[in-house]
Structure 1
Amino acid sequence: MKHLPDILTPCEVAMVISLTRQLRYQVCFLTLYSMGLRLGEAISLQIGDIDAGRMQVHIRDAKGGKDRLVPLPQRTLLALRYYWRTHRHPHWLFPGKDNQPDSLMDRGGLQKAMKQVILECNIHKAISPHSLRHSYATHLLEQGLDLRSVQTLLGHHSLNTTARYTRLTDITRKNTCEAINQLTNGLALRWECGL
């Protein structure tokens, strides 16, 4: 049996990102959420992957060895530029602390930073950096984006993988409740009829 992941509400996402103390983690969390990236996809972003002219990011060699293009939100572009000026690494947007040519930001450090901020925000859910990707997909569906578009953005091979997010949306739950109520509202029950 597959368990449904915990997701953050949009307000919780905003709180987590804004209360993350270290700039590098804050910008990485914003990048994960605003583009629906996997952790490895985000930390391996290179300067050349950002196409500011077309406002998109080239995700290279993602899961399954596939590339994809994802939209780049203006706010994320500004944050990435600001953060890059703090380290000016010639290749990586998220280099390791030592700023060495092949050193990437530490996954463990990101996960630890997420645990810390979740604790400080008093959020009682099982949340990791990957939860930002789950939240992104769920929030897009709640805003009315179609399932096929979300599949493309996430780089899922199967639509079934993306479809699991429909079980997490408030809209799906609301629509389900409305449909069930519609089914039962027309029923004449004995006690209502005075029989």
Structure 2
Amino acid sequence: MNHQEQERFSRLYEKHLKTLKLQGKAQKTIEAYARAVRRVSSYFDCCPDNLSPENLQDYFADLIETHSWSTIKIDRNGLQHFWKFVLKKEWEWVEIVKPPKVHTLPDILTPDEIQMIISATRTDRYRVFLLTTYSMGLRLGETLALEVGDIDAKYQRVHIRQGKGNKDRIVPLPDLTLMVLRTFWITHRHPKLLFPNPNGSPETIRQATGPMDRGGVQQAMKAIVAQCGIKKKSQFTPSATVLPPISWNRA
């Protein structure tokens, strides 16, 4: 896009981010809806404010070929927000794209599969991360966000903050998980984070401002699952029931 269009897009994009924040959207939602606007702008190489319904139909027809319906739905919602709250235009989404309603059950790992994955993990921080995630039925982002102050060792419980739907909850803390977390924390002694960014010297890690990289955890998980020969897709689906005791043998 030319310089004038780029400036117009930047103004509208910043307004898009502002309206999302003012509506109290979760950070992941903000990122997804922002990505939707960037993607359609990149596709047409122009500011998307003058795109017609026909343009958007062509765009989504191509997007369906390379992305899941889940992504299509998120992008549709992101663009709908952009049209309604930024451009102040009507959004006839039914006529543009309508993802099918599909009700599927997630793949739940069995206790034996979880034990296999943890045993096959050779990097300590990932082993501790996976044990923590599965033993307490957490989501990936919830484990990454854990802080020292969230652990109540006396009553063996953990305060999960801003989980799905931006809701807090309390979950039981198994004996083994508490022991392993204590041992792992001693290796970095970060004053706040349980899983700080591990890059750099010990002093750098103690001063890290953020947790381990989400993408790095996901890639490590995929590699371990492939190594174990597990074909299920939803490896980070929280367990629906309390797991039986998991053995912990240091790699």
TM over 0.5: yes
1:47–1:92 Cα contact (<8 Å) kept: yes
Structure-2 change in CA distance of 1:62 and 1:125 (3 Å): closer
| 1:115 counterpart letter in structure 2 | K
**Aligned-residue offset at 1:28:** 0.7
Per-residue Cα deviation, 1:24-68 (whole angstroms, up to 9, x for no partner): 111111111111111111111110110100000011122222211
Q: What's 1:183 paired with? A: none
Q: What's 1:115 paired with? A: 222
| 2:174 counterpart letter in structure 1 | P
Q: What's 2:231 paired with? A: 124
Pairs within 5 Å for 1:97-108: 97-98=198-199, 99=205, 100-108=207-215
Q: Report sequence identity in percent.
A: 53
Distance in structure 2 (CA, Å) of the matches to 1:17 and 1:2: 30
Task: Name the Cα RMSD after superposition.
Answer: 1.7
Between structure 1 and structure 2, the one with the greater Rg is 2
| 1:54 counterpart letter in structure 2 | Y
Distance in structure 2 (CA, Å) of the matches to 1:126 and 1:65: 25
Residue 91 in structure 1 maps to residue 91 in structure 2 = no
| 2:231 counterpart letter in structure 1 | H
1:45–1:59 Cα contact (<8 Å) kept: yes
1:118–1:127 Cα contact (<8 Å) kept: no
Distance in structure 1 (CA, Å) of the matches to 2:214 and 2:140: 8
Q: What's 1:151 paired with? A: none
Distance in structure 2 (CA, Å) of the matches to 1:126 and 1:41: 19
1:31–1:76 Cα contact (<8 Å) kept: yes
Distance in structure 1 (CA, Å) of the matches to 2:186 and 2:219: 24
- TM-score, normalised to structure 1, is 0.66
Q: What's 1:23 paired with? A: 124
2:159–2:168 Cα contact (<8 Å) kept: yes
| 1:50 counterpart letter in structure 2 | I
**Aligned-residue offset at 1:102:** 1.6
Find the residue that maps to 2:128 and give its secondary structure: helix
| 1:43 counterpart letter in structure 2 | L
Q: Equivalent of 1:55, from 156, 181, 189? A: 156
**Aligned-residue offset at 1:6:** 1.5
Pairs within 5 Å for 1:1-195: 1-98=102-199, 99=205, 100-128=207-235, 130-131=236-237, 133=238, 136-137=239-240, 139-140=241-242
2:197–2:208 Cα contact (<8 Å) kept: no
Per-residue Cα deviation, 1:133-171 (whole angstroms, up to 9, x for no partner): 1xx21x44x99xxxxxxxxxxxxxxxxxxxxxxxxxxxx
Distance in structure 1 (CA, Å) of the matches to 2:166 and 2:210: 21
Higher relative contact order (CA 8 A, sep 6+): 1
Distance in structure 2 (CA, Å) of the matches to 1:38 and 1:14: 18
| 1:14 counterpart letter in structure 2 | Q
Which consecutive segments of 4 or more residues in structure 1 shift more than 4 A? none
| 2:146 counterpart letter in structure 1 | L
Find the residue that maps to 1:79 and give its secondary structure: helix
**Aligned-residue offset at 1:70:** 0.6
What count of residue pairs does the alignment treat as equivalent?
A: 137
List gaps (5 residues or longer) in structure 1: 144-195
Distance in structure 2 (CA, Å) of the matches to 1:38 and 1:21: 21
